[in-house]
A and B are shown apart, each in its own frame.
Chain A
Amino acid sequence: MSETTTATPAKSSKKMLWLVLGIALLLVLFFVFAWGLQKRESTQLQGAPAPSFTLTSFEGEEYTLEGLRGTPLVINFWASWCVECYKEAALLEQAYKDYQGKVLFLGIDYLDTEKDALAYMEKYGITYPSGPDIESRIARDYRITGVPETFFINTEGQIIHVQIGPIERPQLYQLLERLTGGGAS
């Protein structure tokens, strides 16, 4: 066994190459992990411009963020299998009627089947437009943590509040006031 192995220049540069390669691969991995750790925080969007979306409602009408610029928006993520969503369904519909013409409500149906979604809307008398989230793209862009989750977007297309879980009446109306410029903001 030969023990006197001194590092020749060729060898040490080969070593450096391996080292750099290894560290580079590790850094990619760490980047992926770091990204994975920080990604699912919809509350981080608070105050940020709303990500654009295209929603085709169950009635076949198309809504886009750009097309709705100038109208305050309430975007509600829901699903027919979601027990917590029942709690706020009637309240949202009531608020939609109260602010008809001033604020547009949009329901985004998350991971749901159309038959059950329509039955749900019928049951709770939802009349504001709602549509399926194709490939869950909107849900991903809005980084939702689950359903229900509600985003309040002002006329400049900025998210002023993210509500995780069902919303209560006083808070909802206060936020609607803020959206329409009536409340103290």
Chain B
Amino acid sequence: MDGFMPAIGYTAQVLALILAVYAIVFAVMGARKNRQDLILSAKNASLGVTALLTVAVVAMEYLLITRHYQTEYVSQVTNSDATLFFRMAALWGSQKGSLLFFGWLMSIFTGAILLNKWGAVKTLIPYVMAVMNLVLVFFIGLVVTVANPFQQLSFFPVDGQGLNPLLYHWGMVIHPPILYIGFVAFIVPYSFAMAALITGQRGDLLMRTTRRWTLVAWLFLSAGLLLGGRWAYDVLGWGGYWGWDPVENAAFIPWLVATPFLHSVIIQENRGMMKRWNVGLIILTFALVVEGTFLTRSGVIGSVHTFSQSAIGPLFLGFIAIMFIASLVLFVNRWELLESEGELDSMFSRESAFLLNNLLFISIAFTVWWGTHFPIISEALTGTKIVVGPPFFKKAVGPLFAAVVLLMGVTPLMPWRKITSRKLLRQLIVPSIVAVVVAIALPLLTAIHFKGAIMTLAFIAFSAAVMLMEYWRGVSARRRAHGENLFTALVHLVRRNRRRYGGYLIHIGVLLAALGIVGMEFYQVETQQNVALGESFSISSPFTGTFEMTFRGLQQAPGKPGVENTEGLLDVSRNGEFVGTIKPYRELFLRQQQPMTIPDVYRAGMTELYVIIAGWEPDGQSATFKAYINPMINWLWFGGIVFAIGTLVAAWPSAQPARRTSRTRIKEKVAETP
């Protein structure tokens, strides 16, 4: 059995490649000749691709679980110490396996689309199928040729090398799949947009489909980013959650482009404007997903996360070149088709607020993209590499994010078409008062004195006030109309218009997370001290007072197999009062001789004391610790949860057809009648 598994897996990959090519050819032929039988055949072939890649993944999992070290990939990512859980997760632990995994996830989305009811977008499906399979052909092609995970060694290794120690963490195990799902799901809106361009449709029909799928992809991408941040915070031990690393940025940039799309598509739904822009954003999002994947996997840019250099680089570059240029040509070619008359009744309208939102997000996306690529661009064009690190990103995009926070509050106050300035001013009174009170009270009552922090917190207060007012207004209207109690009214309100109130919930999540970010960016303090046994060191922050930590000694603690755990014991007292003991530890992965410093924290409300052990004397008589006070950090995680719930509320498919505005309904009627 063992001997057959690699052959089964590889054969499945090859057959999947053939079927994917078949699906492309027959889908295009069927669409051109308008023959349903060919299209059906293509559909079956495409579903076959999904099935075959599933077989390949199962075969790979079997090899990983049974520790089939003769398979080169297995010997690279597992060893005798690896538990079942980490053997299974090793599928995405390194380049080749994760490419197979990536392709498989993508094929699942292809299958999901094909099994769905096609309805109004039926005419697009053959081309959707063709585009999806084109992308799939590339990824399957990689694992069939230069990155075959089923490659066999000519000898039987006794043991494997094992996973990169950085990856031995639950967060690292679940965050890549979630991120990958976020990445690959963008293929759906992309394929629909491309199909619409190919067939020359005007892009109103597909907007509902693409919006829904973009929201799904966006949810996973957001969750992946948040979990990645949490993993960095829990494992990497540098006291932060986001390092502006190329790999992180590569996942963040598509998010920054998909977010304005989700907003501007609302303009299109309501006003029929911005078709061109929206199609452009969809295409750009997926293009950036692919480009980011290339960047982080080909070894063009170095990073802690990058997979080692491999042969996939040139092939990948060729694929990107074809995909980008084809998308661009098609897009420009259909320029007139996507023409939509913009009309604005007033500068003070939701339309213009959304336009501003798009401008801010695209500017942030471009800045992050530019910063990420600047080292390689500067090196290629001038010969001198100039590194762009976190300080650049913080300075360059921080103010833009603050503006986004403010805009988040202003936009709901602006109705479609226009609002008279008197009316707008009336709406602005309460939130503005809240913001001003916050701005005055903060420096008086708390230790917050930085202008940037005060301003951002006032913006957050402003927007939060608007969100709560929006909820309040809806709830009280319902209570008046139906006599419901507060809770039922809230539930019914949200259920009646999940997109709106789910969206507001997402915004509240963002605002809460922003509290944590402001705390970390402006008021994180740190200290590094060498202390002898029994000695103490302290760290203080105006948010929590002084923490004093007394070094009580080192001890070996039971850890994972193959890992030596050395714990440092610290008694913590806060403002002179003993509050507990924390044990930051260092894991030493014996096989790789790689250390990991795992922090321990003491929670003081939403603020955390975060301590790592940086080193010690061999005799254990003294050790070096690094301590941080991370103000309001837990608001970030809490906000993340609220954010995810909001997205689920907004994106969950409803049993009854989604409530639509009368305007779009009429428009669809018009579109349906030839």
Contacts and interface: CB of A to CB of B under 8 A. Distances in A.
Q: Say if the two chains contact directly (CB < 8 Å).
A: yes
A165 B339 CA distance: 60
Interface in A92-111: none
B376 A11 contact: no
A22 B299 CA distance: 25
B328 A36 contact: no
A30 B321 contact: yes
Interface string A16-44: 00110011001000111111110000000
Interface residues of B, number: 29
A35 B380 contact: yes
Interface stretch (B144-152, B329-337, B494-502, B566-574): B329-337
Contacts of A1: 272, 340-341
Interface centre among B272, B329, B380 (most CB of A within 10 A): B380
A26 B328 contact: yes
A26 B380 CA distance: 15
A5 B301 CA distance: 45
Given A36-B380, A37-B317, A5 B339 contact: yes
Given A33-B300, A33-B317, A23 B340 contact: no
Given A1-B272, A32-B381, A37 B299 contact: yes
B314 interface: yes
Contact of A32 (B328, B340, B376): B376
A31 B300 CA distance: 12
B600 to A, nearest CB: 29
Interface string B291-317: 000100011110000000000011001
A36 B381 CA distance: 11
Contacts of A32: 373, 376-377, 380-381
B329 to A, nearest CB: 7
Given A26-B325, A30-B320, A31-B380, A37 B332 contact: no
A7 interface: yes
Contact of B376 (A2, A7, A15, A36): A36
A6 interface: yes
Interface in B249-297: 272, 294
A20 B324 CA distance: 13
A15 B320 CA distance: 23
A34 B376 contact: no
B592 to A, nearest CB: 13
A32 B340 CA distance: 36
A33 B340 CA distance: 36
B465 to A, nearest CB: 38
Interface residues of A, number: 20
Contacts of B335: 11, 15
Contacts of B337: 5
A30 B381 CA distance: 12
Contacts of A23: 325, 328
A140 B379 CA distance: 11
Given A23-B328, A32-B381, A37-B314, A6 B336 contact: yes
A10 to B, nearest CB: 12
Contacts of A6: 336
Nearest to B321: A30
Contacts of B325: 23, 26
A33 B301 CA distance: 9
Contacts of B298: 33, 36-37
A37 B318 CA distance: 12
A12 to B, nearest CB: 9
Interface in B350-395: 373, 376-377, 379-381
Interface centre among A2, A26, A32, A33 (most CB of B within 10 A): A33
Interface centre among B272, B294, B317 (most CB of A within 10 A): B317
B673 to A, nearest CB: 14
A72 to B, nearest CB: 29
A18 B317 contact: no
17 contacts: A1-B272, A2-B341, A5-B336, A11-B336, A15-B332, A26-B321, A26-B325, A26-B328, A32-B377, A33-B298, A33-B376, A34-B317, A36-B298, A36-B376, A36-B379, A37-B299, A37-B314
Interface of B: 272, 294, 298-301, 313-314, 317, 320-321, 324-325, 328-329, 332-333, 335-337, 339-341, 373, 376-377, 379-381
